[in-house]
């Protein structure tokens, strides 16, 4: 019997004419792991919220949402609260209390359980999730990954049958995201928990899911077993960018071979489909400008005298009219480097110069006048007014490679993540910077928005800007960067032109590179791989 | 107990309890224990009134969103207390009272005092700070509609709140030290506190002047969009 | 770990209320001295390392407070000298010293109180009055570090966007105001999502319980009983007027009546309770270690 059944659901937000969802139907069995995908505005978040009584937005609903044969809107409060769990996108917003133990107990307190019962359940959950070592900590002391894990544990402690997750890894770095997804997979595998997850990182999530639901303009575009549905979706240009690299590569060729999902399957697909490959793709060397937009020479920095160095002799150069991506793990010092490059912190040794002038010689805020601007990681740190129009008052937007006029009457907080990012970028660009710095610009963006953002960055470079990007996102770096640098423990350990950079790295590289590296070196994106592979099809 | 039907009477009682009954009890305590140490009596009263208020709050049904907003505003004003010299605490409390009601104003004011003193030092003054900041927010809630209408009145209230806060805290200081009220000591305390009083008044006027409108707009959005 | 910190927060709270409360109520010089002894001893035992700065500050405060009274209060029969046509009397000085002892000892009690009653324990105490209030406090405590961190981010973002036009004060104030305004918006919008998260986990569906990791054990009961007994003894004797002590017009002589002696004994026990607990615990561990 289906545990969750959606029957012909249509939904229109109050005050709007156009339905957000129309005629959505599907059903899930107990223990299913379903992924929900679709573009921004396809209604996937709305659908997920409709599955949870407490989060149902205001509006007109038709059709039925059934949990175990009963409408979820008629479930008793306590059953609804405990049986259907919901994990939100930002753990900062989901977490209610100040201590880890209290957060775990919060839901159980609401159910009115006794202290002894709460103690037992909390202890059990802390053991399962390995939270004991930080059980007594304050929430503010946790890392991003730990916070999201705590959000999950605080929901799981109520022993739900169905777990709904709304882009749970969008704010995490790749390592924490991988850990989070495997924790969810473990819950699904070991506890037969039914999971419905909206997720952008399909590279990791798709292979472990069993069902895939694709939404388009409020309708179910495709629904079914993951592999079959993913293969069907690769014919569609709207969904293709969301799918894993192996699927995207497979989609470029008309082949009877089955569609690969993982890197490993992709490698086998290449082996089966192509032969007589050259040892390496040729890279035409890039000529960079002579002028230096930003130069770090042996820079040392620490936050306080007693603390260890964060930057230990960092040296690198960003030439004018170039896009440089700085990659590296958490705590590698790349964010600190950005603070120093944008004049927010001062190093205790070494030289930092911007356009040939020492950064400390810029006086009276001259550094920020037509010179340097930083797009912060969190776009919401720049919104001051009540509408996009007021935010952009006095800003000449005509020269920007994107258009926000459609959004002028909206409140900045009502925009989607991608739109907020563009609005923040517009505000930053209003200073007409010659050196633009971007801090994790793809955090939380879906594949299409990411591609759009990459385009914008390239156009800005064409307009003469130099761009420094700090990111975890290797796929984005491979798409957009001219050169890449790897940060490790406060030092640049390697830097090279993008293709050579990913060609030499074995682990810290793109999915395409990992698929192809034992046959052909220097391939890092699907486009590059296709350009080379198309001439080497294996004759049948 | 039968609820009081007449809204006027109810309002009068709500006003009378903190402003007439409490000082009255303090005076009575002083008269009975004419020995000395009124400080302790007033301390007990301050604690008692805060506790009474808290238990009243527990029985009332508060929407989840409103509860969160009150905690957000409390945290904001605690953070605001770290700004040197210009402190938006009173202004935030007044605005909370105005836009979210007298009770929320009291809670924001008194919890800010209690919690921020973890960073600024707890002492027997904590209950008094709780009571005076709480009352500033509470009265702002009672006077919400005139304060919203007239900017001048709002500023006057800001000045009044700043001066009154200083006067009350100084009374407490003198009573605590001397065991009874002593006029010349009090005047000296007031004079020595002038820089603080001026900073309270200036911050209140400054922040109310600058915050009243944007803050109102932000809370209005909360009301329209989320029904807080 | 200090032994006294391990007691149930309610017992500790009642203890400090009694010890500091009696000190604030007392005028008897011996009671005030006992309060001084107990509070300073507890503070020294708990902090262990020398807190010279704190003690020096307290000493200065003590001297300052003692001297203020004779300058303003001219009652008393024993004139020490005349300053600006006003007599400075011995009685006023003694009264000043007693007030200073009261204030300084209460400050010491509160120092230990703040160190022991952490925000967690305060939350537990709030929870006894109202579970809703306790939740409100917990949420506010969660938000304070979050907002501080976010305020830093907002400030950095605004600066690196070039929102400071010049290096001057007006511009700095203007920017700080924008930062605060951005913070208010952000915090409110964030709060709405948090409210959803609370609703999703069943907040407001019925009577809430208040989970706490603190239990009320035998030793907590013992501490509370001892506190209440000794505290009540002092209070009753005080209420009956056995501990009255007048400074004006002439200082009363200190007469050791049986009632006084009993009150001193009871208050001595009260003031030394936590210190005795700490010392007893230290001795017990020394003994256990020698057996290991």
CA dist list (Å): A282 to A480, A520, A523, C273:
19, 10, 9, 82
Q: What is the pLDDT of residues C185-204, one digit of tens each?
A: 999 999 999 999 999 999 98
Residues with Cβ within 8 Å of residue A305, at least 6 apart in sequence: none
Q: How confident is the model at residue B15 (pLDDT cuts 50, 70, 90)?
A: low
**Judging by beta carbons within 10 Å of its beta carbon (0-12, 13-18, 19+), is residue A27 exposed, middle or buried?**
middle
Enclosing domain of residue C48? 3-118+220-290
- Give the residue from chain A lying closest to B218, CA to CA: A386
Q: Which long-range contacts (CB under 8 A, 24 or more apart) does C60-63 make?
A: C61/C100, C61/C103, C61/C104, C61/C107, C62/C100, C62/C101, C62/C104, C63/C100
CA–CA separation, A149 vs A131, rounded Å? Answer: 9
Residues C127 and C224 grouped into a single domain: no
pLDDT over 70, % of chain A: 100
Q: Is the predicted pLDDT of residue A114 greater than 60, yes or no?
A: yes
- Predicted pLDDT at B17: 59
Structure token digits, residue A528: 């590059």
Q: Please tell me which residue, A181 or B37, carries the higher pLDDT value.
A: A181
Measuring CA to CA, which residue among C27, C23, C2 is closest to residue C271? C23
Q: How confident is the model at residue B33 (pLDDT cuts 50, 70, 90)?
A: low
Structure token digits, residue C59: 């000493």
Q: Is the predicted pLDDT of residue C220 greater than 90, yes or no?
A: yes
Q: Tell me how crowded residue C31 is: count the other CB atoms within 10 A of its CB.
A: 26
Is residue C209 in some structural domain? Answer: no
CA–CA separation, A129 vs A149, rounded Å? Answer: 8
Chain A residues in contact with B221 by the CB 8 A cut-off are 386, 411
- Predicted pLDDT at B83: 79
Residues C35 and C105 grouped into a single domain: yes
**Mean pLDDT of the residues in chain B:** 79
Q: Which of C200, C234, C249 is the last residue of a domain?
A: C200
C216 touches C10 (CB < 8 A): yes
Question: DSSP assignment, residue A356?
Answer: T
Task: List C81's β-bridge partners, or say none.
Answer: C88
Q: Is the predicted pLDDT of residue C223 greater than 60, yes or no?
A: yes
Q: Tell me how crowded residue B44 is: count the other CB atoms within 10 A of its CB.
A: 17
Where is A67: in which H helix or E strand?
A: strand A59-67
- Give the residue from chain C lying closest to B67, CA to CA: C136
Residues C112 and C225 grouped into a single domain: yes
Q: What is the ipTM of this complex?
A: 0.88
Q: Do C191 and B36 touch (CB under 8 A)?
A: no
The number of folded domains in chain C is 2
Task: State mean pLDDT over B92-104.
Answer: 89
Within chain C, residue ranges assigned H as helices are: 9-25, 29-47, 52-72, 90-116, 119-129, 131-160, 169-200, 218-239, 258-291
Smallest Cα distance from B160 to chain C, Å: 23
Residues C249 and C146 grouped into a single domain: no
Residues with Cβ within 8 Å of residue A15, at least 6 apart in sequence: none
Is residue C139 in some structural domain? Answer: yes
Task: State mean pLDDT over A389-413.
Answer: 87
- Predicted pLDDT at C165: 65
Q: Is the predicted pLDDT of residue B19 greater than 70, yes or no?
A: no
Q: Which of C170, C200, C230 is the last residue of a domain?
A: C200
Residues C145 and C94 grouped into a single domain: no
**Mean pLDDT of the residues in chain A:** 91
Q: What is the pLDDT of residues A137-154, one digit of tens each?
A: 999 999 999 999 999 999
CA–CA separation, B85 vs B70, rounded Å? Answer: 24
CA–CA separation, A103 vs C246, rounded Å? Answer: 55
Which chains does chain C touch, 3 or more C-beta pairs < 8 A?
Answer: A, B
C267 touches C22 (CB < 8 A): yes
Q: Do C99 and B214 touch (CB under 8 A)?
A: no
Is residue C228 in some structural domain? Answer: yes
* Cα-based angle B183, B189, B194 (whole degrees, multiple of 5): 125
Is residue C210 in some structural domain? Answer: no
Task: State mean pLDDT over C136-141.
Answer: 90
Is residue C215 in some structural domain? Answer: no
Chain B residues in contact with C198 by the CB 8 A cut-off are 64, 68
Q: How many residues are listed for chain A in this entry? A: 540
Query: Maximum CA pair distance of chain A?
Result: 72
- Predicted pLDDT at B30: 56
Q: How confident is the model at residue B2 (pLDDT cuts 50, 70, 90)?
A: very low
Task: State mean pLDDT over A225-250.
Answer: 90
Is residue C102 in some structural domain? Answer: yes
Smallest Cα distance from B86 to chain C, Å: 10
Q: Please tell me which residue, B221 or C33, carries the higher pLDDT value.
A: C33
Q: What is the pLDDT of residues B159-194, one digit of tens each?
A: 989 888 888 888 878 877 776 677 787 888 888 888
Task: State mean pLDDT over A445-456.
Answer: 89
Query: Does A378 lie at the interface with C, CB-CB under 8 angstroms?
Result: yes
Residue C105 backbone phi and psi in degrees, to 5? -70, -35
- Give the residue from chain C lying closest to A100, CA to CA: C142
Chain C residues in contact with B72 by the CB 8 A cut-off are 143, 187-188, 190-191
Question: DSSP assignment, residue A61?
Answer: E
Predicted TM-score (pTM) of this structure: 0.88
Is residue C206 in some structural domain? Answer: no
Q: Is the predicted pLDDT of residue A468 greater than 60, yes or no?
A: yes
CA–CA separation, B56 vs C290, rounded Å? Answer: 55
Q: How confident is the model at residue B210 (pLDDT cuts 50, 70, 90)?
A: confident
- Predicted pLDDT at B3: 42
- Predicted pLDDT at A160: 95
B161 touches B90 (CB < 8 A): yes
Measuring CA to CA, which residue among B219, B101, B88, B82 is closest to residue B158? B88
Q: Is the predicted pLDDT of residue B106 greater than 50, yes or no?
A: yes
Residues with Cβ within 8 Å of residue B147, at least 6 apart in sequence: B94, B98, B140, B153, B154, B157
Where is A5: in which H helix or E strand?
A: strand A2-13
Residues C113 and C24 grouped into a single domain: yes
- Looking at the partner chain, which of C139, C153, C196 has a beta carbon nearest the beta carbon of A381? C153
Which chains does chain B touch, 3 or more C-beta pairs < 8 A?
Answer: A, C
Measuring CA to CA, which residue among C93, C128, C90, C155 is closest to residue C13? C128
CA–CA separation, C286 vs C292, rounded Å? Answer: 10
Q: How confident is the model at residue B37 (pLDDT cuts 50, 70, 90)?
A: low
Task: List A28's β-bridge partners, or say none.
Answer: A4
SS3 category, A58: coil
- The 3-state secondary structure of B28-78 reads HHHHHCCCCCHHHHHHHHHHHHHHHHHHHHHHCCCCHHHHHHHHHHHHHHH
Task: State mean pLDDT over A95-111.
Answer: 92
- Predicted pLDDT at C254: 80
Residues with Cβ within 8 Å of residue A522, at least 6 apart in sequence: A280, A281, A282, A283, A499, A500, A502, A503, A528
Which of A166-175, B1-10, C209-218 has the least mean pLDDT?
B1-10
CA–CA separation, A368 vs A54, rounded Å? Answer: 46
Q: A132-162 as b/e, with b when 16 or more CB fall inside 10 Å?
A: eebeeebbbebebbbbbbbbbbbbbbbbbbb
Q: Do C208 and A109 touch (CB under 8 A)?
A: yes
Residues C41 and C100 grouped into a single domain: yes
Residues C224 and C111 grouped into a single domain: yes
CA–CA separation, B64 vs C204, rounded Å? Answer: 7
- Give the residue from chain C lying closest to B211, CA to CA: C181
Structure token digits, residue A466: 């130099």
Query: Does A349 lie at the interface with C, CB-CB under 8 angstroms?
Result: no
| Residue of B38, B47, B71 to mutate for C, most C C-beta atoms under 10 A | B71
What interhelical angle do B64-80 and B102-120 show, nearest 10? Answer: 40
Q: How confident is the model at residue B213 (pLDDT cuts 50, 70, 90)?
A: confident
B61-226 in CATH: which number?
1.10.1760.20
Residues C191 and C251 grouped into a single domain: no
Q: What is the pLDDT of residues C94-130, one digit of tens each?
A: 988 988 998 899 999 998 998 898 888 888 888 887 7
Residues C130 and C183 grouped into a single domain: yes
- Predicted pLDDT at A521: 87
CA–CA separation, A492 vs C224, rounded Å? Answer: 62
CA–CA separation, A288 vs A323, rounded Å? Answer: 10
B153 touches B12 (CB < 8 A): no
**Judging by beta carbons within 10 Å of its beta carbon (0-12, 13-18, 19+), is residue A253 exposed, middle or buried?**
middle
- Looking at the partner chain, which of C158, C204, C213 has a beta carbon nearest the beta carbon of A101? C213
Whether the upstream peptide bond of residue C249 has omega within 30° of 0, thus cis, is yes
Structure token digits, residue C157: 């973002």
Residues with Cβ within 8 Å of residue A154, at least 6 apart in sequence: A94, A95, A103, A104, A106, A107, C201
CA–CA separation, A400 vs B108, rounded Å? Answer: 44
Which chains does chain A touch, 3 or more C-beta pairs < 8 A?
Answer: B, C
CA–CA separation, A196 vs A87, rounded Å? Answer: 10
Residues C63 and C10 grouped into a single domain: yes
Measuring CA to CA, which residue among C267, C202, C196 is closest to residue C229? C267
| Residue of B79, B220, B225, B227 to mutate for A, most A C-beta atoms under 10 A | B225
- Give the residue from chain B lying closest to A14, CA to CA: B225
CA–CA separation, C152 vs C158, rounded Å? Answer: 10
- Looking at the partner chain, which of B36, B70, B210 has a beta carbon nearest the beta carbon of C27? B36
CA–CA separation, A468 vs A473, rounded Å? Answer: 14
- Looking at the partner chain, which of A78, A93, A111 has a beta carbon nearest the beta carbon of C194? A93
Q: How confident is the model at residue B1 (pLDDT cuts 50, 70, 90)?
A: very low
Residues C43 and C96 grouped into a single domain: yes
Q: Is the predicted pLDDT of residue A525 greater than 60, yes or no?
A: yes
């Amino acid at each position: 019997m289906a545990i969750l059944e959606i029957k012909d659901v249509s939904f229109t937000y109050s005050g709007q004419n156009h339905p957000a969802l129309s005629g959505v139907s599907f059903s899930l069995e107990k223990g299913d792991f379903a992924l929900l995908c679709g573009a921004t505005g396809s209604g996937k978040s709305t659908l997920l919220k409709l599955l949870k009584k407490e989060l149902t937005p205001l509006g007109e609903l038709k059709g039925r949402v059934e949990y175990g044969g009963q409408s979820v809107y008629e479930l008793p409060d306590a059953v609804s609260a405990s049986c259907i769990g919901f994990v939100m996108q930002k753990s900062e917003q989901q977490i209610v209390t100040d201590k880890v133990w209290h957060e775990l107990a919060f839901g159980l307190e609401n159910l009115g359980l006794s202290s002894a019962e709460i103690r037992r359940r909390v202890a059990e959950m802390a053991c399962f999730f390995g939270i004991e070592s930080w059980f007594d900590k304050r929430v503010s002391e946790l890392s991003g990954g730990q916070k999201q894990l705590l959000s999950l544990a605080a929901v799981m402690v109520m022993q739900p049958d169905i777990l709904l997750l709304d882009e749970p890894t969008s704010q995490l770095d790749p390592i924490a995201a991988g850990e989070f997804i495997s924790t969810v997979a473990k819950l699904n595998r070991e506890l037969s928990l039914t999971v419905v997850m909206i997720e952008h990182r399909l590279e990791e999530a798709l292979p472990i899911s069993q069902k895939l639901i694709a939404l388009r303009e409020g309708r179910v575009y495709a629904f079914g077993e993951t592999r079959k549905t993913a293969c069907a979706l690769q014919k569609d240009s709207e969904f293709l960018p969301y799918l894993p690299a192996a699927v995207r590569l497979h989609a470029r060729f008309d082949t009877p071979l089955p569609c690969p999902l993982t890197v490993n399957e992709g490698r086998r697909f290449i082996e089966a489909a192509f032969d007589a490959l050259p040892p390496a793709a040729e890279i035409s060397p890039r000529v960079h400008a002579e002028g230096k937009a930003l130069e770090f020479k042996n820079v040392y920095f620490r936050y306080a005298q007693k603390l260890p160095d964060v930057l230990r002799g960092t040296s690198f150069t960003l030439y004018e009219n170039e896009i440089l991506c700085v990659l590296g793990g958490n705590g590698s010092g790349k964010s600190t480097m950005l603070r120093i490059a944008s004049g927010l912190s001062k190093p205790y040794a070494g030289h930092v110069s911007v356009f040939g002038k020492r950064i400390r010689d810029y006086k009276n805020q001259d550094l920020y006048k037509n010179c340097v601007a930083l797009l912060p990681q969190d776009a919401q740190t720049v919104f001051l007014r009540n509408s996009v129009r007021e935010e952009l008052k006095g800003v000449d937007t005509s020269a920007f490679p994107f258009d926000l006029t459609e959004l002028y009457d909206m409140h900045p907080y009502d925009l989607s993540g991608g739109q907020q990012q563009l609005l923040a970028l517009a505000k930053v660009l209003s200073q007409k910077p010659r050196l633009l710095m971007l801090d994790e610009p793809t955090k939380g963006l879906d594949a299409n928005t990411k591609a759009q953002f990459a385009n914008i960055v390239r156009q800005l470079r064409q307009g003469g800007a130099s761009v420094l990007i700090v990111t975890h996102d290797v796929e984005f770096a491979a798409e957009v960067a001219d050169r890449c640098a790897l940060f490790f423990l406060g030092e640049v350990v390697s830097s090279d032109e993008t293709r050579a950079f990913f060609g030499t790295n074995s682990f810290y590289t793109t999915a395409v590179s990992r698929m192809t590296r034992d046959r052909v070196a220097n391939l890092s994106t699907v486009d590059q791989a296709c350009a080379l592979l198309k001439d080497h099809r294996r004759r049948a | 107990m039968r609820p009081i039907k007449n809204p006027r009477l109810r309002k009068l009682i709500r006003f009378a309890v903190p402003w007439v009954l409490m000082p009255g009890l303090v005076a009575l305590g002083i008269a009975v224990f004419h020995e000395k140490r009124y400080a302790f009596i007033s301390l007990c009263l301050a604690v008692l009134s805060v506790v009474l208020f808290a238990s009243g709050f527990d029985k009332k049904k508060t929407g989840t969103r409103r509860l969160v907003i009150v905690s957000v505003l409390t945290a904001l004003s605690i953070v605001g207390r770290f700004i040197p010299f210009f402190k938006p605490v009173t202004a935030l409390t007044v605005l909370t009272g105005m836009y979210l009601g007298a009770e929320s104003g009291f809670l924001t004011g008194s919890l800010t005092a209690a919690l921020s003193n973890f960073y600024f030092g707890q002492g027997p003054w904590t209950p008094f700070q709780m009571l005076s900041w709480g009352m500033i927010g509470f009265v702002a809630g009672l006077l919400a509609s005139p304060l919203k209408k007239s900017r001048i009145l709002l500023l006057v209230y800001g000045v009044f709140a700043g001066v009154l806060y200083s006067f009350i805290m100084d009374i407490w200081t003198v009573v605590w030290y001397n065991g009874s009220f002593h006029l010349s000591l009090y005047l000296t305390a007031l004079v020595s506190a002038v820089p603080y009083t001026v900073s309270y008044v200036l911050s209140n006027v400054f922040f109310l002047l600058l915050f009243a409108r944007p803050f109102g707009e932000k809370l209005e959005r909360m009301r329209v969009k989320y029904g807080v | 770990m200090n032994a006294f910190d391990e007691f149930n927060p309610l017992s500790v709270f009642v203890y400090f209320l009694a010890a500091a409360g009696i000190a604030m109520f007392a005028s008897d010089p011996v009671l005030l001295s006992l309060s001084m002894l107990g509070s300073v001893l507890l503070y020294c035992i708990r902090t262990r390392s020398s807190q010279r700065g704190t003690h020096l500050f307290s000493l200065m405060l003590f001297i300052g407070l003692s001297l203020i009274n004779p300058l303003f209060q001219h009652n008393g029969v024993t004139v020490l000298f005349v300053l600006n046509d006003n007599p400075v009397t011995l009685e006023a000085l003694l009264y000043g010293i007693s007030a200073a002892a009261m204030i300084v000892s209460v400050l010491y009690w509160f120092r230990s109180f703040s160190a022991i009653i952490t925000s967690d324990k305060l939350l537990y105490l709030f929870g006894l009055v109202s579970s809703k209030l306790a939740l409100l406090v917990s949420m506010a405590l969660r938000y304070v570090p979050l907002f501080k961190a976010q305020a830093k981010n907002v400030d950095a973002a605004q600066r690196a966007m070039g929102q400071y036009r010049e290096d001057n004060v007006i511009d700095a104030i203007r920017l700080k105001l924008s930062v605060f305004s951005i913070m208010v918006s952000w915090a409110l919008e964030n709060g709405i999502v948090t409210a959803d998260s609370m609703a999703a986990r069943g907040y407001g569906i019925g009577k809430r319980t208040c989970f706490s990791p603190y239990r009320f054990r035998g030793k907590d009961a013992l501490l509370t009983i001892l506190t209440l007994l000794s505290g009540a003894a002092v209070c009753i004797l005080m209420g009956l007027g056995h501990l009255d002590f007048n400074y004006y017009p002439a200082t009363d002589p200190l007469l050791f009546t049986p009632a006084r002696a009993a009150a001193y004994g009871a208050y001595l026990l009260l003031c030394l309770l936590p210190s005795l607990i700490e010392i007893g615990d230290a001795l017990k561990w020394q003994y256990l270690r020698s057996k290991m």
